[in-house]
Amino acid sequence: MNEFPAPPSTEGRRLFDLQAQYIADLTPLPNLAHAAVVRSPYAHARIRSIDPSAALALPGVITVLTGREVQEWSRPFAVDAERPGRYYSCAIDKVRYVGEPVAVVMAANRYVAEDARDTIEVEYEPLPAVVEVEAAMQPSAPILHEELETNVAIDRHLTYGDVAAVFSAADIVFSQRYVFPRYQSFPLETYGIIASWNPSASQASFWANFHGPYSMLAVLAGALRVPLSKLRVVTPPDVGGSFGNKIALYPYMALMALASRKANRPVKWIEDRLESLSASSTGTDRVTQIEVAARNDGQLLGLKMRLMDNVGAYIRAPEPGCLFRPIGNFMNAYKIEHLEVNALAVMTNVCPSGPNRGYACQQHYFPIERAIDELALKLGKDPATVRLQNLIQPQDIPYRTVTGGLYDSGDYPRATQRALELSNYWQLRQSTGAAAPSDAGVWRGVGMAVAIDPSGSNMGYIDVSKKATQRRPNLVRVGSAQTTRIYLDATGGVTVELETAAHGQGQETTAAFIVAQTLGIAPADVTVIAGMDTGSRPWSVSSGSYSSRFGAVGASSIVAAARRLQENLLQAAAYFLDSTASRLRIRAGRIVSLDNAQLGLSLKDVAARLHWSTGTLPPHLETATQIEGTFVASELDYPNEHDQVNSSAVYAFTADVAVVEIDKETFDIRVTDYITVHDAGNILHPQIARGQFVGGLLHGLAGALYEELRYTETGDFLTGTLMDYLCPTVSEMPGNIVTDHIVLPTPQALTGAKGVGESTAQTAPIAIANAVADAVRHLGLEITELPLTPDKLWQQLGARLAGEPACT
């Protein structure tokens, strides 16, 4: 297969050729109006009145859209929740978080639109607000959506195995509360939309940096009260990062479609950074109460978990994915057969939540992996030993988890051992925590984490949000599918159309490499059409770039298409050469006969004949140059009556070790070494895969130590700039980063590949937290929440150390 070295970055080349096209660069329609969004300064308030007259009087202002028209022209967005609020793209009579859209101004340019925005008078009646998830569940809490009489949108109880039995038989049972913070991955490019409403056809066209899942377009169509076929969404070739955050673009697509309808002309809106931080989307913050049952020898027996998700002011699709996406891998990589989960989605007066790199798994594994460290300590064992003891063994794979997941491939102990070796873990253990030299200026710690990394989400998992009796029997949502279209042109060139809308994952480079390898041609001879256009390319509701699905699902559809083209070329050559396809091979741009060295045709000749001689071709070759390859992930199922479901197409594995140093005077935390070992099946492009591992590390590190979207108790937003929301720079990255992988191809994908994009983002917050816990445990400090900042450590440690000499 590997005739050619992995090619350099196609996407990067375009950038340095000055051909990049991001949404802000586009003017696809004439006569664009520019929008600015009026937003709520209150976390919770009734809107008494909106007076846009001053804005409308400004030269250059076209019109103003308010909640009145939004209510008239659209419906609330659909979401899978028992008690959702009525979520429109714009506040109607009440605002429920700081930054919530209240009106949209359209003007000749953005400067004028923003001037006008500041003149719109909105009269508010402030209401008490609630921002913490546990507070919002109290009977006395302010209610966001009065008609619901509660802030709890979902309250599901899931039971697997015999939890009561293992808890009563356990040698040790303990409980702990953990808090995973609210942060977003901060794509450097903000949201951007150009929307055009066609009144006579009730049709909306969008150019937007939206990248799926395209199931969200069904939600959008429902809100706009049009059939899906009346939406066209074009994603430009270049999208400046998302990490899941741009999945939640669709409410703004609705808002801008309605703005265009009001203005009767196309509208362009590019979000600014304050809007992005306060009102786009964020990862879900979660409080978990976890109970662990184990034997004294370290054997894990069962878990009870109460998951309390803060989904913000409105539960918004694809939430409650944060609760249910990892259902098949709820037990992580451990052989645990007994689990009880109480899954709660709670609405509070903060920005609605959504997918963020490592969606759901970050939140889910943090309490499990922290608790395993605690268990090990309680038993006087090393955390690595307890993990190795409980990992699912390679001979058990394929392994069916008690929650319904099918772990398809992997060797978790081997990957874990590799991480321990590469990090020199056992030796480090002798010199961290209490064992560190007391005269050093730092406290030192080492910590680890392991994680199952699910990729290629099964649409069906979301229905676990409903009791089996409440599921819709007439719509069984199951699967993950993708189609790739390939054309062979008359000169032998190959063009590939993706339906994924990538945002930095190098999918064009990888697609060309895959097709070139399959056909035995140079990657440079393969042209990949980037971006996406629902008006002209094949797609389905599961299309898009999300849930790390490209390697297993998306790329497998490319393989499927390329193999069919290969077969067609052989069939065509057999016809032209009067030979049989099974005796022909493609080698270095030629089709050659295994039986006669003289017999052969160049690919170019075959391509030319397929195009220029169409009138003479037999029926089976008439469409030989136009291929659609579809890949449908197998083994995916619909949740059964026991709430079991194989929630993802494939499951990768990650084992990480972090080493930290904490300055004894400043409490500054530095990650000095980070070792990450992946079991992700075949690696499709080594440099791109490494880029994903290291990029995931950056996001995990950010969540562990720096980034947090913070609110006051009354819901005022505190982190609206990069001076308050601290994104790591090169200086904050670990000095020593080691990435490695073991390769056990998955049988579930034609590529043999599993996901690589989210894995380290899931493990890094935990490995770092465990390392910090190791460093400071001997000082009596427990680590139960993130991010770990110098001031938080000081608040706990400083008091303890007061009166003692510095540098102890």
**Chain mean position to CA 444:** 32
Instruction: Please report whether residue 239 would count as binding other proteins according to CB under 8 A.
Output: yes
Among 529, 541, 694, 779, binds other proteins (CB under 8 A): 694
Q: Is 468 in a helix, a strand, or coil?
A: helix
Instruction: Please report whether residue 241 would count as binding other proteins according to CB under 8 A.
Output: yes
259: part of which helix (H) or strand (E)? helix 250-263
Opening angle at CA 382, ends 304 and 441, nearest 5: 110
Two structure tokens written together for 282:
């964020």
CA neighbor of 312 nearest in space, from 459, 98, 127? 98
Q: Which of residues 47-66 bind other proteins (CB under 8 A)?
A: 58
Among 180, 191, 206, 243, binds other proteins (CB under 8 A): 243
CB of 698 to other proteins, least distance (A): 4
Q: Which amino acid is at 248?
A: A
CB of 398 to other proteins, least distance (A): 33
How do 231-235 and 203-208 pair as beta strands?
A: parallel
CB of 539 to other proteins, least distance (A): 22
In the complex with other proteins, the residue whose CB is nearer, 245 or 571, is 245
Instruction: Please report whether residue 12 would count as binding other proteins according to CB under 8 A.
Output: yes
Instruction: Please report whether residue 13 would count as binding other proteins according to CB under 8 A.
Output: yes
In the complex with other proteins, the residue whose CB is nearer, 492 or 506, is 506
**Chain mean position to CA 158:** 24
CB of 423 to other proteins, least distance (A): 17
CB of 8 to other proteins, least distance (A): 5
CB of 690 to other proteins, least distance (A): 8
In this structure, the number of other CB atoms found within 10 A of the CB of residue 426 comes to: 12
Q: Is 374 in a helix, a strand, or coil?
A: helix
How many helices (H) and strands (E) in the chain? 21, 29
- For residues 8 and 1, what is the distance between their CA atoms, to the nearest angstrom? 18
Q: Compute the Cα dihedral for 772, 775, 778, 779 and give only its sign.
A: negative
Q: Compute the Cα dihedral for 589, 593, 599, 605 and give only its sign.
A: negative
Two structure tokens written together for 268:
């362009």
Stretch that binds other proteins, among 200-208, 260-268, 374-382, 692-700 (CB under 8 A): 692-700
Instruction: Give me the sheet containing 584-587, strands edge to edge.
Output: 584-587, 590-593, 600-602
In the complex with other proteins, the residue whose CB is nearer, 479 or 695, is 695
Q: Which of residues 186-215 bind other proteins (CB under 8 A)?
A: 186-190
In the complex with other proteins, the residue whose CB is nearer, 405 or 757, is 757
Stretch that binds other proteins, among 29-37, 298-306, 411-419, 718-726 (CB under 8 A): 718-726
In the complex with other proteins, the residue whose CB is nearer, 370 or 741, is 741
CB of 31 to other proteins, least distance (A): 16
Instruction: Please report whether residue 411 would count as binding other proteins according to CB under 8 A.
Output: no
The residue assigned the tokens 């197998």 is 634
How do 669-679 and 736-742 pair as beta strands?
A: parallel
- Residues 170-189 as x/- pattern, contact with other proteins by CB under 8 A: ---------------xxxxx
CB of 123 to other proteins, least distance (A): 21
Stretch that binds other proteins, among 38-46, 331-339, 456-464, 688-696 (CB under 8 A): 688-696
Q: Contact at 8 Å (CB) between 589 and 521?
A: yes
CB of 579 to other proteins, least distance (A): 41
Q: How many residues line the site for other proteins (CB under 8 A)?
A: 54
218: part of which helix (H) or strand (E)? helix 215-224
In the complex with other proteins, the residue whose CB is nearer, 164 or 727, is 727
- Residues 719-738 as x/- pattern, contact with other proteins by CB under 8 A: --xxx---x-xxx-x---x-
> Angle at which helices 759-776 and 361-378 pack, to 10 degrees?
30
Alpha-carbon separation of residue 412 from 107, 295, 398, 742, 798 (angstroms): 57, 22, 12, 10, 40
Instruction: Please report whether residue 232 would count as binding other proteins according to CB under 8 A.
Output: no
Stretch that binds other proteins, among 269-277, 461-469, 529-537, 618-626 (CB under 8 A): 269-277
CB of 545 to other proteins, least distance (A): 11
Three-state DSSP string of 570-605: HHHHHHHHCCCHHHEEEECCEEEECCCCCCEEEHHH
Among 1, 18, 475, 597, binds other proteins (CB under 8 A): 18
Alpha-carbon separation of residue 606 from 308, 591, 610, 611 (angstroms): 61, 9, 6, 9
Stretch that binds other proteins, among 157-165, 360-368, 717-725, 746-754 (CB under 8 A): 717-725
Opening angle at CA 381, ends 377 and 387, nearest 5: 95
CA neighbor of 461 nearest in space, from 301, 645, 655? 645
- Residues 499-538 as x/- pattern, contact with other proteins by CB under 8 A: ----xxxx--------------------------------
In the complex with other proteins, the residue whose CB is nearer, 142 or 236, is 236
Q: What is the CA radius of gyration of the chain?
A: 27
Stretch that binds other proteins, among 21-29, 260-268, 479-487, 617-625 (CB under 8 A): 21-29
Instruction: Please report whether residue 691 would count as binding other proteins according to CB under 8 A.
Output: yes
In the complex with other proteins, the residue whose CB is nearer, 140 or 729, is 729
Among 51, 53, 68, 111, binds other proteins (CB under 8 A): 111
Among 4, 20, 71, 611, binds other proteins (CB under 8 A): 20
CB of 756 to other proteins, least distance (A): 12
CB of 506 to other proteins, least distance (A): 7
CB of 627 to other proteins, least distance (A): 29
In the complex with other proteins, the residue whose CB is nearer, 207 or 334, is 207
Q: Contact at 8 Å (CB) between 251 and 89?
A: yes
CB of 242 to other proteins, least distance (A): 8
Alpha-carbon separation of residue 703 from 134, 247, 754 (angstroms): 21, 20, 24
Q: Which of residues 613-652 bind other proteins (CB under 8 A)?
A: none
Q: Which amino acid is at 250?
A: Y
Length, in residues, of the chain: 808
In the complex with other proteins, the residue whose CB is nearer, 235 or 644, is 235
Stretch that binds other proteins, among 22-30, 123-131, 252-260, 440-448 (CB under 8 A): 22-30
Q: Is 673 in a helix, a strand, or coil?
A: strand
Instruction: Please report whether residue 698 would count as binding other proteins according to CB under 8 A.
Output: yes
Among 51, 123, 272, 782, binds other proteins (CB under 8 A): 272
Give strand pairing partners of 674.
658, 737
CB of 236 to other proteins, least distance (A): 12
CB of 263 to other proteins, least distance (A): 20
Instruction: Give me the sheet containing 192-198, strands edge to edge.
Output: 61-66, 101-107, 33-39, 267-270, 192-198, 203-208, 231-235, 532-533
CB of 426 to other proteins, least distance (A): 26
Q: Which of residues 116-135 bind other proteins (CB under 8 A)?
A: 119
CA neighbor of 725 nearest in space, from 740, 711, 744, 735? 711
Q: Is 533 in a helix, a strand, or coil?
A: strand
**Sequence-ordered list of residues with C-beta below 8 angstroms from that of 58, at least 6 positions apart, any chain:** 107, 112, 115, 116, 119
Q: Largest alpha-carbon pair distance within the chain?
A: 95
In the complex with other proteins, the residue whose CB is nearer, 349 or 762, is 762
Contacting positions for other proteins (CB under 8 A):
8-9, 11-13, 15-18, 20, 22, 24-25, 58, 111, 115, 119, 185-190, 238-241, 243, 270, 272-273, 503-506, 687-688, 690-691, 694-699, 721-723, 727, 729-731, 733, 737
